[in-house]
Amino acid sequence: MFLVRFSIAGRNRWGRLQDNEITPLLSDPYDGIELDTRITLPVDAVRLLPPAVPTKIVCVGRNYAEHARELGNMVPDEPLLFLKPPSSLIPHQGVVRIPPQSTRVEHEGELAVVIGQRLFRAKSTAVRDKILGYTCFNDVTARDLQRKDVQFTRGKGFDTFAPCGPMLRTDLDPSDLAIETAVSGQVRQSGRTSQMVVPVLDLIAYISSIMTLEPGDIVVTGTPAGVGPLVAGDSVDVTIEGIGTLSNTVENWE
Ligand code: ZN
């Protein structure tokens, strides 16, 4: 099933997307999916939102060996975690803004997981049932500031640096999906989720050994090789097999 969050007449709601028609949900999907079958809406009539309202966005660095190498890094012994603030989220077709502090902003197409039920100190085998679904994410990064700072907060945390969505696929095996990022129509990153150093379920179990994951939290699973610059006027598409495409444009902050 494909879930979406959308805005219509000033209200934000969840819905099921099927054949370009949205059937609204009666409530948030975390405790089960109940459809409001009295109405359907054409997808073109709504504004799509990121398919989660997270308390935190937990990301992992260097989770594809080839990408670690391209930036001159070793693959770490344990997952290298960092957070992006929820204020960095933008939807499908939202605008990524290049901030004046950076001269090198890059794309990182990634598979994102939206948590469905609370997880704390979970075993990997217990994780799958607690996942709501899978979506596309662009971990936009000011590479110059990331290199300059000891930690990643500034380089990863600017407003608009977390495009996410639009579709959330609930029934999907995340272990071997094609993932591709194109900039202005040219493929820059092409990989498979099977190339992850730490697979999705193990990664989420690891994170839950440190912090409680709440319904709606987003776990972002790392980027394949091929990261590169974004400049004003670019379009950037992150496509994941079985999920769909996240499309955004790029502009400078005024
Ligand atoms: Zn990343």
Question: pLDDT tens per residue, the chain (254 residues)?
Answer: 999 999 988 999 999 999 999 999 999 999 899 999 999 999 999 999 999 999 999 999 999 999 989 999 988 899 999 999 999 999 999 999 999 999 999 999 999 999 999 999 999 999 999 999 999 999 999 999 999 998 999 999 999 999 999 999 999 999 999 999 999 999 999 999 999 999 999 999 999 999 999 999 999 999 999 999 999 999 999 999 999 999 999 999 98
Looking at the structure, do residues 187 and 128 belong to the same domain, yes or no? yes
Residue 81 Cα, ligand 1 centroid: separation in angstroms? 10
Count of structural domains within the chain: 2
Quick one: 18 and 41 in the same domain? yes
What's the rounded Cα separation, in Å, for the pair 245 and 36? Answer: 26
The whole-model pTM stands at: 0.97
Span from the CA of 11 to the centroid of ligand 1 (angstroms): 31
Could you give the percent of the chain with pLDDT greater than 90?
95
Alpha carbon distance 134, 56 (integer Å): 16
| Residue carrying structure tokens 């997981």 | 113
Separation of CA 10 and ligand 1 centre (Å): 32
Q: What are the residues facing 244 on neighbouring strands?
A: 240
How far does the centroid of ligand 1 lie from the alpha carbon of residue 147, in Å? 14
As a whole number of angstroms, the distance between CA 111 and CA 223 comes to 8
Q: Which CATH number goes with the domain that contains 11?
A: 2.30.30
DSSP line for 74-89:
PPPSS-EEEEE-GGGE
Domain shared by 41 and 158, yes or no: no
Are 78 and 204 members of one domain? yes
Report the separation in Å between the CA atom of 211 and the middle of ligand 1, taken as the mean of its atom positions.
19
Are residues 44 and 80 located together in one domain of the fold? no
pLDDT tens column, 33-87: 999 999 999 999 999 999 999 999 999 999 999 998 999 998 889 999 999 999 9
Is the peptide bond preceding residue 224 cis, with omega within 30 degrees of 0?
Answer: no
Domain containing residue 181: 57-252
The stretches of the chain forming alpha helices (DSSP H) are 65-70, 124-127, 143-148, 153-157, 200-208
Q: What CATH number should be reported for the domain holding residue 148?
A: 3.90.850.10
122 in the same domain as 141? yes
How many Å lie between the centroid of ligand 1 and the Cα of residue 141?
8
Which pLDDT score is estimated for 182? 98
